[in-house]
């Protein structure tokens, strides 16, 4: 086998993007992927019994994001707007909810006055103590742990301020044929240029010196190249040496290893439930809610599984449930049947339907606990107070030989997104190409 110029570990969005960009410039690249599929945290399923192009992983394009949308355009992949009403269910009532958190403007005002970074939990306790602000503190906790998948006791107040000031909630899209159509395009381009993508290839060791790398897999096969890109999820990089998917460096890279451990990586459990029909659109629900829920895209509640969304504006009988942050970590060891029961109980409480009724109408279901996936070990990154310095360390190539790529290394408003992963891939490719 011809020795490639560059090895890439990880065939997710970042790894495939950097491989694609290098391939375009004539570099020979070999990609090694531990899973039996490409995509990483992008995982579109197309089961016969399921809604087509259902997303077990990344689903939305959160804003008019240039790298993602330009790649979709280049690949000829269509996408559509994913907008609708945000509905809140609380204390037995449905209300349309634009303002998710009480005293939001005051929160932003106080954040803008913050001079030194701290975690958002301590910030709230200092700035908004007492019973009068309990609702604000609860709202921020739920939002940070849900949307950002973060532990509020670790999440950077500065990073959240930046995120909240740059949100573009009116611009949200879904990829028509699923995000994996984009992944498949990148992989196809790499292969057609004569490069290899090896699946079910678990890297265990990296032996390196300047401009010389050898990686060894768990079955003893070795691959060599002049440069190596490590495009693995942060959760895998943070794994203990004995855990599946963990990688050992020879010689060690202590500065980078320390930086990796100071960054935040979230947790999420995602629920896909397909029913025989969209019961939330029927007359009984309309009467219960006091209005039609046909325009609803997001449903927020205080239930065990608090966040749900529809496929609006497409009409579909599928509901997607979402549990993130510390609450997802607490359920890390739950069985899928237990999680399904909690999901159905949450919907039962919201829509006043018995669990038996819901089960009778349930055609198919799929639940993924991303924290329990050995080659992911979580959802996506979030900034801790130490994250900016950690990113600086990890974004600096080691002897022009070892490079890190991934959404956790992106420094912009679209943190934790496919856009972040793709952008990181582009940046690393540019560094290698000089």
Question: For 240-260, what is the mean pLDDT?
Answer: 96
Residue of higher predicted confidence among 213 and 415: 213
Question: For 417-434, what is the mean pLDDT?
Answer: 97
Q: Which two three-digit tokens encode residue 262?
A: 């100071």
Residue of higher predicted confidence among 418 and 47: 418
Q: Which two three-digit tokens encode residue 256?
A: 């980078």
Please write the tens of the pLDDT for every residue from 4-43: 999 999 999 999 999 999 999 999 999 999 999 999 999 9
Q: Which residues pair with 308 in a beta bridge?
A: 299, 321
Instruction: Read off the pLDDT band of 98 (50, 70, 90).
Output: low
Q: For the chain, what percent of residues have pLDDT higher than 70?
A: 97
Mode of pairing for the β-strands spanning 29-32 and 196-198: parallel
Q: What is the pLDDT of residue 60?
A: 96
Please write the tens of the pLDDT for every residue from 113-127: 999 999 999 999 999
Instruction: Read off the pLDDT band of 171 (50, 70, 90).
Output: confident
Instruction: Read off the pLDDT band of 275 (50, 70, 90).
Output: very high
Residue of higher predicted confidence among 97 and 96: 96
Q: Which residues pair with 54 in a beta bridge?
A: 45
Q: Evaluate whether 320 touches 309 at the Cβ level (below 8 Å).
A: yes
pLDDT at 382 over 60: yes
Cα–Cα distance measured from residue 182 to residue 73, given in angstroms and rounded to the nearest whole number: 10
pLDDT at 392 over 60: yes
Question: For 398-409, what is the mean pLDDT?
Answer: 98
pLDDT at 168 over 80: no
Q: What is the pLDDT of residue 48?
A: 63
Determine how many CB atoms are found less than 10 A away from the CB of residue 391: 20
Please write the tens of the pLDDT for every residue from 39-62: 999 999 987 666 778 999 999 998
Question: For 410-420, what is the mean pLDDT?
Answer: 91
Interior/surface letters 185-212, b for 16+ CB within 10 angstroms, e for the rest: bbbebbeebebebeeebbbbebebeeee
Instruction: Read off the pLDDT band of 413 (50, 70, 90).
Output: confident
Instruction: Read off the pLDDT band of 166 (50, 70, 90).
Output: confident
Average pLDDT, the chain: 95
pLDDT at 403 over 80: yes
Please write the tens of the pLDDT for every residue from 121-145: 999 999 999 999 999 999 999 999 9
Q: What is the pLDDT of residue 46?
A: 84
pTM: 0.95
> CA–CA distance from 237 to each of 59, 115, 244 (Å)?
24, 32, 11
CA dihedral of 402, 403, 408, 414, whole degrees rounded to 10:
180
Residue whose C-alpha is closest to residue 272's, from 337, 368, 402, 386: 368
Question: For 198-209, what is the mean pLDDT?
Answer: 98
Question: For 149-171, what is the mean pLDDT?
Answer: 87
Q: Omega into 108 within 30° of 0, i.e. cis?
A: no
Q: What is the pLDDT of residue 170?
A: 63
User: What strands lie across the sheet with 362-369, from one edge to the other?
Assistant: 93-96, 85-90, 296-300, 307-309, 318-324, 268-275, 362-369
pLDDT at 169 over 60: no
pLDDT at 378 over 60: yes
Q: What is the pLDDT of residue 332?
A: 86
């Amino acid at each position: 086998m011809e020795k490639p110029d560059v090895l890439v570990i990880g065939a997710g969005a970042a790894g495939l993007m950097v491989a694609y960009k290098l391939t375009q410039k004539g570099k020979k690249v070999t990609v090694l992927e531990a899973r039996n599929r490409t995509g990483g945290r992008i995982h579109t399923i197309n089961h016969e019994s399921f809604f087509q192009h259902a997303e077990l992983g990344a689903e939305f394009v959160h804003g008019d994001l240039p790298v993602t949308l330009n790649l979709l355009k280049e690949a000829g992949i269509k996408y559509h707007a994913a907008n609708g009403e945000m509905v809140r269910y609380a204390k037995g009532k449905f209300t349309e909810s634009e303002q998710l958190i009480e005293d939001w403007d005051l929160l932003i005002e106080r954040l803008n006055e913050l001079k030194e970074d701290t975690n958002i939990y301590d910030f709230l306790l200092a700035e908004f103590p007492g019973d009068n602000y309990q609702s604000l503190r609860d709202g921020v906790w739920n939002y940070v742990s849900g949307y950002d998948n973060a532990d509020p006791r670790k999440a950077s107040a500065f990073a959240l301020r930046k995120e909240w000031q740059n949100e573009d909630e009116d611009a949200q899209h879904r990829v028509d044929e699923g995000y994996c159509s984009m992944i498949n395009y990148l992989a196809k381009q790499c292969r057609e240029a004569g490069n290899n993508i090896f699946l079910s290839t678990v890297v265990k060791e990296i032996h390196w010196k300047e401009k010389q790398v050898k990686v060894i897999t768990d079955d003893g096969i070795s691959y060599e190249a002049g440069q190596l890109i490590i495009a693995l999820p942060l959760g895998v990089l943070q794994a203990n040496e004995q855990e599946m998917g963990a990688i050992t460096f020879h010689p060690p890279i202590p500065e980078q290893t320390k930086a990796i451990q100071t960054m935040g990586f979230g947790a999420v459990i995602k629920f896909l439930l397909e029913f025989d029909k969209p019961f939330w659109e029927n007359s009984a629900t309309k009467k219960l809610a006091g209005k039609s829920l046909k325009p609803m895209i997001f449903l927020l509640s205080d239930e065990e599984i608090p966040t749900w969304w529809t496929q609006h504006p497409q009409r579909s009988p599928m509901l997607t449930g979402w549990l993130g942050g510390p609450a997802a970590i607490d359920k890390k060891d739950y069985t899928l049947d237990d999680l399904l029961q909690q999901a159905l109980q949450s919907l039962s409480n919201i829509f006043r339907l018995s669990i038996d009724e819901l089960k009778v109408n349930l055609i198919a279901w799929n639940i993924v606990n991303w924290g329990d996936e050995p080659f992911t070990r979580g959802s996506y990154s979030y900034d801790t107070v130490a994250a900016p310095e950690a990113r600086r360390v990890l974004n600096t190539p080691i002897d022009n030989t070892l490079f890190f790529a991934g959404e956790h290394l992106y420094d912009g408003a679209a943190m934790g997104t496919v856009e972040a992963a793709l952008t990181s891939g582009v940046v690393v490719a540019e560094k290698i190409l000089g």
